[in-house]
Amino acid sequence: MKCNKLKLMRNLSFLALIFLFSCNEKTLIYTEIDNNSESLKTAQLSITNQKVHQVFPSSNIPKLFFGSVKESDNLFSLVQMTLFSGYIPPTSLEDLLSDSIQVDSAMVFFQTADSLNSSSKLSLYSIIASEDSIFSDSLNYYSMDNFIDFNSSSQFLSEISLNDINPDSTGFDTLKFMFHGEELDDLKNYFLDVSSYPARTFMLKADDNLTEFFTIESAESSNTPKMRVWYKSFIDEQTVVDTFITFFSQEDITVFSPPEVESEDHDYISTNWGSGLQSIIELDISLIDSLSRNEIFKNSNLILSVENSNLDENEEYFVVATALQDSVSNWDFSSFLDADNESENYLINPGFIISRKIENEILKIPVQAFLQGYKNGIFKNNELMIYSSSANNPFSKVRFNVENIEVLYVSP
């Protein structure tokens, strides 16, 4: 028993000595490294290559565009509706033409968050084509090659004035095309009759007087375009159901004539998603390769200055920078419009995507996460893609000069 007590006392004394030594040893914490001028180091990276290329604009934009602005002309928008209503049991468009149903009225409506005071009108047409779907890879924002002539393959249905549009308390205003009488007959004949006209697609056009930029919510928005139909259904001689159903937009697109790509655009970091202009820069990373794996990057920024833009006063402009998945081999200007460059496609690496706004003619993009990821082997390529955010006016163009790439890092 005494032997066990003696052994316990020795163990306790040994643990106490370890604790005392631990308290006397200086602990190095990150904030001390951060404030240690000998550990903080700065450097500037250079650009070894840069290029501009032109791609199709992204198709998942929650807006449809109208107005001739900034050297661009929004020709028209196409909105395809669902074949069946969003109700159970499902009711097709053509079901509304049956003898047991009497359509009383209909409303096609769109929502907008824009304010507008214009004498222009917005017209609604039905595409009376033989194709069951006019949406495919052949149809994009600014190319209708090998496709139908939408203007000659459309039937006018209705129009509304765009005077004094002001969003309500929800932030959205509703544009309503109402159908009664003869206009309702046209809707039934040229849109609901999908056996004759299977496209079930509306075309929206603003008149030539609209010189302001105006948008409505698209199928990608939670405020998607809709069509509501009020009708009576005759079940039997004594039973009549008075109700309504709603159809939703399934797919849509604005076809426009974009800003021209100028030769000067090739010489700068050019961004404009209406023209599909994106830029790629290649960083000289010889300094990063020479650093140890434990170097910690901090407050490293890519600094761009505005060389030229068509931004309106107080207009905000956001730029996205992202890492590339694969290395660039062709550093000449390339466009999807050129057959030789049709296959040129740059995949982004989702490990680094960041967006920043221009402030006082300067764009500062934090790149420390990219540099640290490259140093640690997460990113294999030293190239960044820079492009306009889809939140911008699609026809706003900004060209940038690269000022420098500031690198601040610490050595633990």
Per-residue pLDDT at 155: 96
Per-residue pLDDT at 25: 38
Do 304 and 400 form a contact (C-beta atoms < 8 A)? yes
Does residue 406 carry a pLDDT above 80?
yes
For residue 132, count other CB atoms closer than 10 A to its CB: 12
Contact residues for 5 (Cβ-Cβ < 8 A; gap 6+):
none
Per-residue pLDDT at 33: 39
Do 206 and 214 form a contact (C-beta atoms < 8 A)? yes
Report in angstroms the alpha-carbon separations of 178 from 160, 182, 228, 408.
9, 11, 10, 62
Does residue 230 carry a pLDDT above 80?
yes
Per-residue pLDDT at 59: 57
Do 214 and 117 form a contact (C-beta atoms < 8 A)? no
pLDDT tens, position by position, 303-314: 999 999 999 999
For residue 210, count other CB atoms closer than 10 A to its CB: 21
Cα-Cα-Cα-Cα dihedral sign, residues 60, 62, 68, 69: negative
User: What mean pLDDT is reported for the chain?
Assistant: 84
Per-residue pLDDT at 255: 82
pLDDT tens, position by position, 236-248: 766 678 889 999 9
29: its two tokens = 């914490």
Helix, strand counts (H, E) of the chain: 5, 22
| Nearest C-alpha neighbor of 405 from the set 42, 24, 41, 46 | 46
pLDDT tens, position by position, 51-107: 999 887 765 678 898 988 888 877 789 999 999 998 888 899 999 999 889 999 999
- The span from the CA of 215 to the CA of 115, in Å, is 10
Report in angstroms the alpha-carbon separations of 17 from 11, 12, 22.
10, 9, 9
Between residues 366 and 141, the one the model is more confident about: 366
Report in angstroms the alpha-carbon separations of 234 from 188, 230, 245, 247.
18, 14, 15, 21
Does residue 10 carry a pLDDT above 70?
no
250: its two tokens = 């399934």
Between residues 162 and 33, the one the model is more confident about: 162
Residue 201 pLDDT class (50, 70, 90 cuts): very high
Tell me the mean pLDDT in the region 308-333: 93
Per-residue pLDDT at 90: 86
Per-residue pLDDT at 126: 97
Distance from the Cα of residue 172 to its chain's centroid: 20
pLDDT tens, position by position, 113-150: 999 988 899 999 999 988 777 776 555 555 555 567 78
Three-state secondary structure along 154-195? EEEEEEEECCCECCCCCCCEEEEEEECHHHHHHHHHHHHCCC
- The full set of domain ranges for the chain reads 32-56+259-410, 72-257
Per-residue pLDDT at 159: 96
Does residue 251 carry a pLDDT above 50?
yes
Q: Which residue's structure tokens are 């214009």?
A: 118
Tell me the mean pLDDT in the region 13-36: 43
Instruction: Tell me the DSSP string of 75-123.
Output: EEEEEEEPSB-SSSS--BTGGGGSTTEEEEEEEEEEEE---B--S-EEE
1: its two tokens = 């028993």
- The span from the CA of 354 to the CA of 394, in Å, is 19
